[in-house]
């Protein structure tokens, strides 16, 4: 009887741990969907964000994202909003970023560049839009 209750307790712990982990993943995904800041269209500070080609073809075409005016000591977190939200970490070299990404479906993509500006604080430093056809 003792081993049966130990097995039941272990099973309960596994279920509770799984539910807790899934809750944390859900909360983390929702929080990452759009960091503090917000906004779209044009630069929001001294940093620039250029997209080429713009417009870009749908269906897996490569497009380039580049810009300058970023803080050297902090990576840029690039959020791409369209049918889903993508997050990309981009290294800063001499104040500039450059990376290639690929398109998915047609539509308007909003790209927001965030950098850490204080302890646990992300700031929107630049934004641009991409038309995908």
Spatial CB neighbours of 111, under 8 Å, sequence gap ≥ 6: 49, 51, 65, 78, 79, 80, 81, 127, 128, 129, 130
Q: Look at residue 110 and tell me if it is in a domain.
A: yes
Within a domain: 42: no
CA 121 to chain CA centroid, nearest Å: 15
Are 74 and 111 part of one and the same domain? yes
Q: What is the pLDDT of residue 7?
A: 52
66 belongs to a structural domain: yes
**Co-location of 16 and 71 in the same domain:** no
Name the 3-class secondary structure at 72: coil
Would you say residue 98 lies in a domain? Answer: yes
* Domain range for 28: 1-32
28 and 62 in a single domain? The answer is no
- Kind and range of the H or E element at 19? helix 2-32
pLDDT in tens, 96-105: 999 999 999 9
Q: What is the pLDDT of residues 9-37, one digit of tens each?
A: 454 443 333 333 333 333 333 344 444 44
**Cα dihedral 125→40→80→129 (10° resolution):** -110
Is position 40 within any domain? no
pLDDT digits (tens, 9 = 90+) for 53-111: 999 999 999 999 999 999 998 999 999 999 999 999 999 999 999 999 999 999 999 99
Residue 18 lies inside a defined structural domain of this protein: yes
Q: Write the CATH number for 80.
A: 2.60.40.1930
Model pTM greater than 0.75? no
User: What percent of the chain lies above the pLDDT cut of 90?
Assistant: 60
Residue 44 located in a structural domain = no
Verify that 71 and 113 share a domain, yes or no: yes
Q: Does 1 map to a domain?
A: yes
Residues 58 and 115 in one domain: yes
Determine the pLDDT at residue 126.
Answer: 97
Report the domain count for the chain: 2
Are 71 and 8 part of one and the same domain?
Answer: no
């Amino acid at each position: 009887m003792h081993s049966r209750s130990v097995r039941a307790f272990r099973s309960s712990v596994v279920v509770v741990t799984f539910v807790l982990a899934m809750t944390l993943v859900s909360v983390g995904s929702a929080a990452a969907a759009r960091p503090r800041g917000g906004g779209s269209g044009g630069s929001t500070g001294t940093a620039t964000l250029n997209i080429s080609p713009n417009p870009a073809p749908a269906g897996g075409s490569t497009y380039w994202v580049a810009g300058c005016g970023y803080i050297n000591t902090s990576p840029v977190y690039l959020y791409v909003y369209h049918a889903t939200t993508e997050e990309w970490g981009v290294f800063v070299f001499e104040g500039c970023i450059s990376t290639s990404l690929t398109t998915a479906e047609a539509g308007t993509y909003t790209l927001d560049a965030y950098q850490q500006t204080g302890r646990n604080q992300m700031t929107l430093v630049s934004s641009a839009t991409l038309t995908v056809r």
